């Protein structure tokens, strides 16, 4: 299995400790830093506005104005910003793209990263516009992104395994699962991607604290927290919560 060279340490003749040097606690602290949220805001301010984007920009700005570094708020975007900064990913896979905000965070922080996005692009998903892959491509053109963008439409339970079967040697530094929020859908998405995460790579599951999806936290615990191959943590203090894990070993 491949590993991320920026967060692992290999030494010959003897590897006394596990190669992974990035822990979940370190990643959480990095995601809470003022510079992390400022970097995320810089990207968001380059994207096409909608009601949710404008709300989140104001939410970030107000929280940090009131509480500064002590606020400690974490969500998918700040976690992606921190993870991308330390991992310097070559390959990023995302299930659940919508308008491409998460992709944009990664693309702006690591412009050469190859991005792979999977979505059904259901119209008015969760009561919000879902304009489709052409819109996402246009959003990334607002940034200095130079990598390869692959967007695949369809049910991720089918499209992701099909894609991975065709790309037997493709492994990812960073993976986000934020698509089908049903228990079966999220479980399938996680199971389909975890074996393709590099050692030192980061896996994210969004919305584990959402009042309509409380079962996602239990699902995460069964699949990831109880798996000794991963070092994982959860943040549910504010917002809809996020779970994240770092692969410790293959």
Chain mean pLDDT for the chain: 96
Beta bridge partners of 93: 116, 175
Is 180 domain-assigned?
A: yes
Q: Which residues span the domain enclosing 172?
A: 24-247
Is 9 domain-assigned?
A: no
Query: Which residues, in sequence order, are CB contacts of 152 under 8 Å at separation 6+?
Result: 116, 117, 118, 159, 163
In the numeric block, the tokens 């049910």 are attached to 155
Query: What percent of the chain has pLDDT above 70?
Result: 98
Structure tokens at 18: 């596990």
CATH at 122: 3.40.50.150
52-60 contact pairs (CB < 8 A, 24+)? 52/128, 53/99, 53/101
Is 2 domain-assigned?
A: no
Q: How confident is the model over 123-172, as pLDDT tens digits? A: 776 666 788 999 999 999 999 999 999 999 999 999 999 999 999 999 99
Phi, psi at residue 3, to the nearest 5°? -135, 160
Based on the structure, what is the number of domains in the chain? 1
167 and 177 Cβ atoms separated by less than 8 Å = no
Is 12 domain-assigned?
A: no
Indicate the pLDDT class of residue 69, thresholds 50, 70 and 90.
confident
| CB hemisphere CA count around 205 (13 angstroms) | 35
pLDDT for position 24: 98
Count of other CB atoms within 10 angstroms of residue 249: 14
Is 210 domain-assigned?
A: yes
Query: What percent of the chain has pLDDT above 90?
Result: 94
Q: How confident is the model over 210-230, as pLDDT tens digits? A: 999 999 999 999 999 999 999
179 and 158 Cβ atoms separated by less than 8 Å = no
Is 8 domain-assigned?
A: no
As a whole number of Å, the end-to-end CA separation of the chain is 6
Look at residue 1 and tell me whether its pLDDT is greater than 80. Answer: no
pLDDT for position 63: 96
Handedness of CA 98, 101, 104, 109 (dihedral sign): negative
pLDDT for position 127: 66
Q: How confident is the model over 98-126, as pLDDT tens digits? A: 999 999 999 999 999 999 999 998 877 66
144 and 176 Cβ atoms separated by less than 8 Å = no
Look at residue 87 and tell me whether its pLDDT is greater than 80. Answer: yes
Selection from 198, 188, 120, 117 nearest residue 153 by Cα:
120
The reported pTM is 0.96
Look at residue 245 and tell me whether its pLDDT is greater than 90. Answer: yes
The average pLDDT across 32-49 equals 96
pLDDT for position 3: 98
Is 94 domain-assigned?
A: yes
Structure tokens at 36: 């992390």
Is 40 domain-assigned?
A: yes
pLDDT for position 125: 67
Indicate the pLDDT class of residue 95, thresholds 50, 70 and 90.
very high
pLDDT for position 129: 74
């Amino acid at each position: 299995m491949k590993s991320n060279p920026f967060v692992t340490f290999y030494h010959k003749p003897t590897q006394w400790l596990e190669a992974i040097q990035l822990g979940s606690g370190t990643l959480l602290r990095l995601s809470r830093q003022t510079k992390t949220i400022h970097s995320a805001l810089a990207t968001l301010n380059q994207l096409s506005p909608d009601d949710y984007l404008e709300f989140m920009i104001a939410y970030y700005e107000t929280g940090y104005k009131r509480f500064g570094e002590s606020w400690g708020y974490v969500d998918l975007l700040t976690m992606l910003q921190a993870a991308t900064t330390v991992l310097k990913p070559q390959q990023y896979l995302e299930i659940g793209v919508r308008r491409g905000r998460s992709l944009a965070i990664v693309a702006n922080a690591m412009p050469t990263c190859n991005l792979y996005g999977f979505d059904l692009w259901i119209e008015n998903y969760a009561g919000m516009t879902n304009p489709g892959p052409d819109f996402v491509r246009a959003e990334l053109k607002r940034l200095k992104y130079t990598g390869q963008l692959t967007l695949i439409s369809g049910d991720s339970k089918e499209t992701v395994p099909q894609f991975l079967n065709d790309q037997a040697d493709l492994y990812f530094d960073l993976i986000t699962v934020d698509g089908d929020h049903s228990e079966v859908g999220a479980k399938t998405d996680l199971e389909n991607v975890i074996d393709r995460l590099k050692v030192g790579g980061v896996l994210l599951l969004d919305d584990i604290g959402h009042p309509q999806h409380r079962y996602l936290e239990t699902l995460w615990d069964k699949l990831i927290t109880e798996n000794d191959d991963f070092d994982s943590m959860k943040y549910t203090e504010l917002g809809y919560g996020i779970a994240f894990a770092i692969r410790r070993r293959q």
